[in-house]
Amino acid sequence: MKFAVIVFPGSNCDVDMYHAIKDELGEEVDYVWHDTESLDQYDGILLPGGFSYGDYLRSGAIARFSNVMDAVKKAASQGKPVLGVCNGFQILLEAGLLPGAMRRNENLKFICKTVNLKVANNETMFTNAYGKDEVIAIPVAHGEGNYYCDEHTLQKLIENNQILFQYAGDNPNGSLQDIAGITNETGNVLGMMPHPERAVSDLLGSADGLKLFQSIVKQWREQNVVTS
């Protein structure tokens, strides 16, 4: 499986994402600059964290207009897995690929620590390697991770099982319904604030994030059986 790590001016977690895919997952991966117009050669798209375009206006608001986002939308419409982490999640929200919006953390401070997440739905391309309601340890590092949506949108998220991850015990940012990660209705676009790419080895303090990437590869291989 071949992944693209999208790099925007201000991305600072692109190297972490690249390392997670190449060295821990053992799959192909390329850095792809924000002005790229085609992602047809890639099987999975990864939008890393950071401060794209300096977070001017608001997080993700400028990055959504980058050339590459048309290609990201095309990949999403084709059913390819698209993962946005932290700032990547914010960009997916701004681009309309996921519902809702991101607000400043409730305490108005930048938060950087490991938190516990509950796997609320383990029957997706991103979570099939986890157990239902499994609690995992994943780091967060953000100032605007307070997810919000209106009541109608929240009800749809619940009814469609689009909430994949919820903060367990300690909600670090005030996010609605303890939401830490959601998908689109078709289940192939995931946005999450915690950083699974920073939890892919016991040397990092947790390997719980590796299962997310393994889940993607597992489903991709099942859908793309190579015959010799």
* Residues known to be catalytic: 86, 195, 197
Two structure tokens written together for 44: 């999975």
Full DSSP string of the chain: -EEEEEE-TTB-SHHHHHHIIIIII--EEEEEETT----TT-SEEEE--B-GGGG-SSTTTTGGGSTHHHHHHHHHHTT--EEEETHHHHHHHHTTSSSSEEE--TTSS-EEEEEEEEES--SSTTTTTSPTT-EEEEEEEES--EEE--HHHHHHHHHTT-EEEEE-S--SS--GGGEEEEE-TTS-EEEESS-GGG-SBGGGTB-TTHHHHHHHHHHHHHHS----
CA–CA separation, 51 and 172 (whole Å): 20
